């Protein structure tokens, strides 16, 4: 593994424009539950209950959704950035980071210290809620207080419209601006580093290949093998935080 870490260090030193792509494996190291892994959220709840069309058409579906969201929000709110997040911040401080494309919805990259304008939230954010009718925005913390007071299905206090966290649900279109920007950044970087993503959710999983096909070097750091490992220049299996910390330690040695 030490040789692989050194290879990544050299690739970063040579790179002028690094794009980092993060997935659930970075968030789980901060104690945020993974949706898909054994013991994850989707073993307790049926994801089919939360498809976007079902959410907007069924009060029963919305009630189930908010029950799940009420439970999920607490560990998300209390989570702290980990070594993986902090390593990405250091890449920005070194002037190497073009942007972070994240599948995560927890705001931890920004809380760790990355510039908000450098973070592209491909699947939205769980820290705000919007009315689907009048577009009024609410802090997620405010909605949590409603839920804890016994409100089962929150509604907009302006127009009575349906409220939904600003995350991308199953069956909902990806945000056009963020998706287009992610592919654009991938095509124009010279090093693309995947951290903590299984690379199975599309279209996000295609973004690393966009970078590779455009001439960038590709590094994948993930606990388990991914379908894209064979395309990568370097693959390291292990803890995102631990590996990124080692990479940054070596980078910072003059």
Neighbours of 148 (CB within 10 A): 10
Q: Is residue 58 domain-shared with residue 177, that is, in the same domain?
A: no
The strand ranges marked E within 91-131 are 97-102, 119-121, 124-131
Domain at 66, CATH number: 3.30.1600.10
Least confident window among 47-56, 125-134, 218-227? 47-56
What are the pLDDT digits (tens) for 217-238? 999 999 999 999 999 999 999 9
- Per-residue confidence (pLDDT) for residue 32, from 0 to 100: 87
* Marked catalytic residue, from 109, 123, 184, 228: 123
Same domain, 104 and 140: no
Q: Do both 19 and 85 map to the same domain?
A: yes
Q: How many CB atoms lie within 10 A of CB 45?
A: 17
Q: Is 123 a catalytic residue?
A: yes
Task: Print the domain residue range for 148.
Answer: 33-78+126-167
- Note the pTM of the prediction, 2 decimals: 0.92
pLDDT reported for residue 50: 80
- Same domain? For 136 and 163 the reply is yes
């Amino acid at each position: 593994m030490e040789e692989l870490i050194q290879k990544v260090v050299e690739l970063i030193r040579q790179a002028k424009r690094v794009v980092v792509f993060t997935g659930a494996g970075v968030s789980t190291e901060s104690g945020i539950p993974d949706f898909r892994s054994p013991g994850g959220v989707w073993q307790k709840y049926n994801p089919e209950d939360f498809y976007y069309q079902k959410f907007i058409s069924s009060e029963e579906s919305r009630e189930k959704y908010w029950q799940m969201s009420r439970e999920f929000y607490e560990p998300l709110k209390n989570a702290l950035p980990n070594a993986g997040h902090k390593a990405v911040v250091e890449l920005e401080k070194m002037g190497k980071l073009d942007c972070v494309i994240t599948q995560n919805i927890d705001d931890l990259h920004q809380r760790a210290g990355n510039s908000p304008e450098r973070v592209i939230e491909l699947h939205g954010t769980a820290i705000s809620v919007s009315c689907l009718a009048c577009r009024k925005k609410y802090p997620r913390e405010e909605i949590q207080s409603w839920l804890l007071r016994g409100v089962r299905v929150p509604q907009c206090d302006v127009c009575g419209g349906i409220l939904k966290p600003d995350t991308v649900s199953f069956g909902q279109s990806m945000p056009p601006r963020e998706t287009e920007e992610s592919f654009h950044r991938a095509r124009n970087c010279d090093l693309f580093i995947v951290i903590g993503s299984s690379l199975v959710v599309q279209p996000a999983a295609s973004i690393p290949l966009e970078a590779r096909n455009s001439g960038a070097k590709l590094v994948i750091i993930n606990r388990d093998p991914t379908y894209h490992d064979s395309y990568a220049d370097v693959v390291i299996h292990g803890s995102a935080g631990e590996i990124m910390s080692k990479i940054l330690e070596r980078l910072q040695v003059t």
